[in-house]
A and B are shown apart, each in its own frame.
Chain A
């Protein structure tokens, strides 16, 4: 091998504390190094050209660049060596900027360390081999999990892009949290008026297959070729016959079913269509409260249904779909406010969440849009809003800001005054976070135009007194205690990861943070990708988000999917594991430990052997460190390559 070493000054970033010329001189003494030089900016166009030229003129067969982190420029230089006709893997980087020049000023020590890192890179490069990608077909269909606004946007954009979409929703209607909202900030336009048309578009789009009451069961395969199993729950209503006329709901004698859509304010019928704009507008029987299921007789809905859609014998079904990409848009859950005992939620009926309050405000809600106290139906005159309930609170394990509570609280303060002009609103807040377009103006309006009284401080406790509630808190700006006699207390419950999020993440083989939110590939530069190729994120499943951000991320995820599907063939990463069939004794330890199920047992001339499924392998190398005879070797990080690095450091 003829190796060329390029030591970068990076302006003064490296040269300032590393003697790059000395590093290059020392590198000339390393085995198989034919050329070593220092350069001002190796990543610049002339810098890259110099590499290309050196490869061509000096007949170099491998390149080491000592500069910044490979996480920064490895791909840049790989493309450069490829331009010169070398295989892109005949290249190594020594990180002498982030790991050397930027973390200390001792020029002698830095130069010495940089030289050693170059030696390491040279020793590894000597054991590199050219690697080649495989090409494989792409199934140009996408699975969107979750039919909230982010999922709807992603599904519509993909469908508009001409790709088939399978949209699965756990509930009987899409719409998610946004469908429950009365109005949206900062425009105060009607939520269902802007979401409704999009939901209808989903239902009518020829490219979208909508599966409500359906959950993800399992995922197999890899980017471009996922096999997905979906569990379609029994609805006990044949949706091909149901017209959504609602006669069954009118006649259903069992009216004590939990009203999940209305956030459990009030009850509903056992056979139910959650809200008038529901998509699909189909009835579902809740067997937990249906008399037919509880007592074995009733059958009223079956009698009244004009199309004979009721089917009490319906069973859960498992469907299989082939897709090439998956967008997770599973949203969030509302923090359980009863966890904060001192606010009395759960014990006092008039201490409610903002989302429950939203249902009280909504014309399609249980009170027909009139604000009434859950306890006695009276119209509240004094309403206290408490912000940051289950947000920014380390003691509850919720140190993060839920982001949108300041804004919806301001909106609800405004709407309260609209509904009850003689009401008084108090808002306890920690800080007002309103960084969006027209957001701060909006909170100001709540205060200045609508007379909401904002009190900076936390509420210590809420307790009943007569028919009212005393809200005791602090006003930290005035430095006093405050006590307010309230008719209704609305807690701005924070967002938390959806209950099943970690389990879903494990099925999708993506990471989740300590709070259960899915982890994006890079917080800034790859915000909708995950570390599993072909799986993307949209909306609040990645972290709390308001509607504009969720929609933007839905579109962004769709753009990524469309870009992926613009290719007919995908290239696999060749940095994957391979099993040397001669060395393999078929003990199966690698099969046991592979997190991807990427190694299968094969029969080779009557002997059991392991074989890596190239398209499934993600290149972690667990098999390599597990295989005692070194038969499984991760390409580009083989035992010999890492041993060469260890020896380069320890044996000189």
Chain B
């Protein structure tokens, strides 16, 4: 059983019980003739509609999804549609990132008495979907030649820098030394198994402090470990981006301000080890063969397979560092040295711009090719400082059963969308998800797009104010930047 081939398309409707479902009933009672494509799912309130239901439908075969609720101020539950409006508007901005035409999704308001309006809504939305035709299916898209290359290695631009990074390590050590007796633990970085891979360092004593290092190889986000150390007195050394995660964790009350001491270090950018690996591979070697490495603010010098390679910082810096807006800690008890100048120039990053230049079809194909590599290790989630659901992630749950164990691209992509939606208005773009991905899938791009939507709609940036209420957990009766109701 499916839609009547050639006659109907698959259109799913989510209607609130009190207004719009009633309106659809009233339209039926009044014999207002409507197209037959729409199938209606009844929910108590538009506020009950998780945007992920809509993504689920669109990724699994729906050609269009229509949501309808009570008119603003008229909600049976007084506020549900206000929350819905924000979340659904964000989704509308986000769908094109996945290569889904946002016109395939619409939300509107129909009251229980507006039979005629309901008829008009159904008719015009159905007509719109028929004009768009059947939706492209993720599994069937093919990647046009050269697209991947076009997207890779496009990040460039200004890096934050003040040229004094080297002298700061001693200053930082002195400061930590001063406070270490009052703290259970201080989180920083140390040299890892080779010269390139620095790893987090948990300092309890003066001997531990000697292992502390500072430089562009301090990639890990130190804030990630804070929630698991709750209850202890913890010091944490942060880069600008790490500090935003601290702010976010404070805002969500997952760490206690009185129990953490933040040491802010001005950052001049970190390296992306994947880029180094790619560059080394192009030269016939690889990151696994590195014997020695020297890394400063200007760049990296690597000895591998007996040869020396030099990369300028611009070649190997992480994408997020170009045009960095927050090289300094936004929250710190102790700021070390002078602040790095921000390299942000208000422009959107080239990565986003390149993504914008792709057609919807290309974007879907792009994600298809990228997500094909996903091995569902969930390292992205585990590295994310804001994935606080820990063992209860809905990606691995039967109840609720959002994602099945089927090895399909749809399910893999669905997980990334879950991550992006759950971190919408919370993600600080620290890039840990992408850094942790063993398959080098550029998943940060998805979150940056989401953040852009949040910024445009609500003029909000996550991780800058511990007292702020994130936009998706709030609403305004009159939304400045949302103009819904085109149907």
A residues in contact (CB < 8 Å) with B: 26, 69-72, 95, 97-100, 102-106, 108-110, 112-113, 115-117, 119-120, 506, 509-514, 519, 523, 531, 575, 582-583, 585, 587-589, 592-593, 595-596, 608, 618-622, 624-626, 628-631, 633-634, 637-640, 642-643, 645-647, 649-652
B179 within 8 A of A: no
A116 touches B39 (CB 8 A): yes
B366 within 8 A of A: no
B10 touches A649 (CB 8 A): yes
Report the minimal beta-carbon distance from A396 to chain B, rounded to whole angstroms. Answer: 20
For the complex with contacts A585-B254, A649-B57, 15 further pairs of A-B residues with Cβ separation under 8 Å are: A69-B21, A71-B17, A95-B25, A103-B27, A103-B28, A119-B1, A506-B78, A596-B77, A621-B45, A630-B402, A640-B399, A646-B41, A646-B56, A650-B56, A650-B57
User: What residues of B have a CB within 8 angstroms of the CB of A509 in the complex?
Assistant: 78
The segment from B46-54, B322-330, B344-352 that touches chain A is B46-54
A109, closest chain B residue (CB): B36
Cα A231 to Cα B18 in complex, Å, equals 34
Cα A366 to Cα B288 in complex, Å, equals 99
User: What residues of A have a CB within 8 angstroms of the CB of B254 in the complex?
Assistant: 585, 587
A640 touches B401 (CB 8 A): yes
Interface string of B212-225 (1 = CB under 8 A from A): 00000000000000
B51, closest chain A residue (CB): A625
In-complex Cβ contact of B74 among A69, A506, A511 (8 A): A511
B31 within 8 A of A: yes
B80 within 8 A of A: yes
A582, closest chain B residue (CB): B392
B392 touches A583 (CB 8 A): yes
Report the minimal beta-carbon distance from B421 to chain A, rounded to whole angstroms. Answer: 9
B2 touches A652 (CB 8 A): yes
* Contact-residue bracket for chain B: 35 or more
Report the minimal beta-carbon distance from A285 to chain B, rounded to whole angstroms. Answer: 38
In-complex Cβ contact of A637 among B7, B12, B43, B60 (8 A): B43
A71 touches B78 (CB 8 A): no
Cα A498 to Cα B199 in complex, Å, equals 66
B108 within 8 A of A: no
Report the minimal beta-carbon distance from A395 to chain B, rounded to whole angstroms. Answer: 22
B25 touches A71 (CB 8 A): yes
B residues in contact (CB < 8 Å) with A: 1-4, 7-8, 10, 12, 17-18, 21-22, 24-25, 27-29, 31-36, 39-45, 47-51, 53, 56-57, 60-62, 73-80, 83, 87, 113, 252-254, 388-390, 392-394, 397, 399-402, 422, 469, 473-474
A71 touches B21 (CB 8 A): yes
B40, closest chain A residue (CB): A99
A629 touches B392 (CB 8 A): yes
Report the minimal beta-carbon distance from B88 to chain A, rounded to whole angstroms. Answer: 11
A98 touches B41 (CB 8 A): no
In-complex Cβ contact of A639 among B50, B75, B389, B393 (8 A): B50
Report the minimal beta-carbon distance from A402 to chain B, rounded to whole angstroms. Answer: 20
B12 touches A649 (CB 8 A): yes
Cα A69 to Cα B17 in complex, Å, equals 11
Give me the 3 closest cross-chain CB pairs, A-B, nearest first. Answer: A98-B28, A621-B48, A639-B400
A647 touches B60 (CB 8 A): yes
B1 touches A652 (CB 8 A): yes
A646 touches B60 (CB 8 A): yes
User: What residues of A have a CB within 8 angstroms of the CB of B75 in the complex?
Assistant: 511
In-complex Cβ contact of B400 among A513, A630, A647 (8 A): A630
User: What residues of A have a CB within 8 angstroms of the CB of B21 in the complex?
Assistant: 69, 71
B47 touches A620 (CB 8 A): yes
A595 touches B392 (CB 8 A): no
B28 touches A109 (CB 8 A): no
Grouping DSSP codes into helix (H, G, I), strand (E, B) and loop, the B interface class, with mixed when no group exceeds half, is: loop
A124, closest chain B residue (CB): B41
User: What residues of A have a CB within 8 angstroms of the CB of B34 in the complex?
Assistant: 103-104
Report the minimal beta-carbon distance from A523 to chain B, rounded to whole angstroms. Answer: 7
B28 touches A97 (CB 8 A): yes
Q: Which of B29, B31, B35, B48 is the most central at the interface, judged by chain A CB atoms within 10 Å of its CB?
A: B48
Cα A506 to Cα B79 in complex, Å, equals 10
User: What residues of B have a CB within 8 angstroms of the CB of A119 in the complex?
Assistant: 1
Cα A186 to Cα B34 in complex, Å, equals 48
B61 touches A651 (CB 8 A): yes
Report the minimal beta-carbon distance from A319 to chain B, rounded to whole angstroms. Answer: 26
In-complex Cβ contact of A98 among B25, B47, B53, B60 (8 A): B25
A622 touches B253 (CB 8 A): no
B8 touches A109 (CB 8 A): yes
B469, closest chain A residue (CB): A592
Cα A569 to Cα B57 in complex, Å, equals 43
In-complex Cβ contact of A593 among B10, B397, B473 (8 A): B473
Cα A589 to Cα B386 in complex, Å, equals 13
B400 touches A633 (CB 8 A): yes
In-complex Cβ contact of B83 among A71, A106, A512, A593 (8 A): A593
B33 touches A104 (CB 8 A): yes
Cα A69 to Cα B401 in complex, Å, equals 28
User: What residues of B have a CB within 8 angstroms of the CB of A620 in the complex?
Assistant: 44-45, 47-48, 76-77, 80
User: What residues of A have a CB within 8 angstroms of the CB of B25 in the complex?
Assistant: 69, 71-72, 95, 98-99
Cα A343 to Cα B62 in complex, Å, equals 58
Cα A208 to Cα B394 in complex, Å, equals 55
A650 touches B253 (CB 8 A): no
Cα A100 to Cα B28 in complex, Å, equals 8
B56 touches A643 (CB 8 A): yes
A625 touches B44 (CB 8 A): no
Report the minimal beta-carbon distance from B90 to chain A, rounded to whole angstroms. Answer: 13
In-complex Cβ contact of A646 among B35, B53, B252, B394 (8 A): B53
User: What residues of B have a CB within 8 angstroms of the CB of A110 in the complex?
Assistant: 36
User: What residues of B have a CB within 8 angstroms of the CB of A589 in the complex?
Assistant: 252, 473
User: What residues of B have a CB within 8 angstroms of the CB of A638 in the complex?
Assistant: 400
User: What residues of B have a CB within 8 angstroms of the CB of A72 in the complex?
Assistant: 25
Report the minimal beta-carbon distance from B443 to chain A, rounded to whole angstroms. Answer: 17
User: What residues of B have a CB within 8 angstroms of the CB of A510 in the complex?
Assistant: 78
Cα A512 to Cα B78 in complex, Å, equals 9
Cα A67 to Cα B253 in complex, Å, equals 49
B44 touches A621 (CB 8 A): yes
User: What residues of A have a CB within 8 angstroms of the CB of B24 in the complex?
Assistant: 98-99
User: What residues of A have a CB within 8 angstroms of the CB of B253 in the complex?
Assistant: 587-588, 608
Report the minimal beta-carbon distance from A581 to chain B, rounded to whole angstroms. Answer: 11
B1 touches A622 (CB 8 A): no
A511-B75, A620-B44, A625-B47 known; A106 and B36 CB under 8 Å?
yes
A102 touches B28 (CB 8 A): yes
A620-B80, A650-B12 known; A115 and B48 CB under 8 Å?
no
Cα A629 to Cα B399 in complex, Å, equals 10
A70, closest chain B residue (CB): B42
B18 touches A531 (CB 8 A): yes
In-complex Cβ contact of B1 among A112, A588, A596 (8 A): A112
A505, closest chain B residue (CB): B78
Cα A629 to Cα B50 in complex, Å, equals 12
A625 touches B48 (CB 8 A): yes
B30, closest chain A residue (CB): A102
A103 touches B48 (CB 8 A): no
A630, closest chain B residue (CB): B400
B1 touches A642 (CB 8 A): no
In-complex Cβ contact of A103 among B31, B47, B80 (8 A): B31
User: What residues of B have a CB within 8 angstroms of the CB of A637 in the complex?
Assistant: 43-44, 48
User: What residues of B have a CB within 8 angstroms of the CB of A622 in the complex?
Assistant: 45, 47-48, 77, 79-80, 83
Cα A548 to Cα B35 in complex, Å, equals 46
In-complex Cβ contact of A585 among B77, B80, B87, B389 (8 A): B389
B400 touches A511 (CB 8 A): no
Cα A639 to Cα B28 in complex, Å, equals 28
User: What residues of B have a CB within 8 angstroms of the CB of A646 in the complex?
Assistant: 12, 41, 53, 56-57, 60
A642 touches B43 (CB 8 A): yes
22 cross-chain CB contacts under 8 A: A102-B31, A103-B34, A105-B33, A116-B1, A116-B39, A511-B74, A512-B73, A531-B18, A531-B76, A589-B252, A595-B78, A622-B77, A622-B80, A626-B83, A626-B473, A637-B48, A643-B401, A643-B402, A646-B60, A649-B12, A650-B61, A651-B60
